[in-house]
A and B are shown apart, each in its own frame.
Chain A
Amino acid sequence: MATGPSGSASGSISTLIPGGPSVTAAPGMARARNPIWGFIVRRLLLGAFVLFLVSIVIFVATQALPGDTARAILGRTATPASLEALREQLHLNRPLVVQYLLWAGGLLRGDAGSSMAAQEPVTKLIGDRIINSAFLVLCAGLISIPLSVLIGSYAALKRDKSFDVAASLTTLVFAALPEFVVGVTLVVLFATTVLHVLPAVSLIPPGGRPWDEPIGMILPTLTLVLAVTPYVARIMRASMIEVLESDYVEMARLKGLSEWIVIRRHALPNALGPTFQVIALNLAYLAGGVIVVEYVFNYAGIGGALRDAVSNRDLPVIQAVALLIAGLYVVLNLLADIATILVTPRLRTRL
Chain B
Amino acid sequence: MAVLNPLVAQEPPLVQSKRPAGVLRGALALGRTRIGLGLVIFIAGIAVFGPLLAPHGPADFIGLPNQLPSGAARFGTDHLGQDVWSRFLDGGRTILILATAATLLGLALGTSIGLLAAYSRGLLDDVLMRAMDVILAFPQILLTLVAISTLGPSGWLMVLAVGLTNMPRVARITRGAAQPIVERDFVAAAEAIGVPRWRILFGELLPNILSPLMVESSLRLTYSIGVIAAIAFLGFTTNPNGADWGLMIQENFIALVVQPWGVVLPMAAVAMLTMGTGMIGDGIARAAAGIDRSRSGE
Contact = CB atoms under 8 A, between A and B. Distances in A.
B139 interface: yes
Contact of B256 (A67, A188, A295, A329): A188
A57 B150 contact: no
A325 B139 contact: yes
Interface stretch (B21-29, B54-62, B66-74, B229-237): B229-237
Interface string B262-298: 0110010011001101110010000000000100100
Most buried by A among B145, B235, B277: B145
A73 interface: yes
Interface in A164-217: 169, 172-173, 175-181, 184-185, 187-188, 192-193, 200
B178 interface: no
B141 interface: yes
Interface stretch (A31-39, A58-66, A106-114, A265-273): A58-66
Contact of A291 (B141, B152, B274): B141
Nearest to A322: B146
Interface string A74-102: 00000000000000000000000000000
B277 A318 contact: no
B263 A188 contact: yes
Contacts of B136: 329
Interface in A293-351: 295-296, 306-307, 309-311, 313, 315, 318, 322, 325-327, 329-330, 333
B65 interface: no
Most buried by A among B140, B270, B271: B271
A50 interface: yes
B150 A69 contact: yes
A172 B270 contact: no
Contact of A181 (B130, B140, B222, B270): B270
Interface string B151-178: 1100000000000000000000000000
Interface of B: 32, 130-131, 133-143, 145-152, 222, 225-227, 229-230, 233-236, 246, 249, 253, 256-257, 260, 263-264, 267, 270-271, 274-275, 277-279, 282, 293, 296
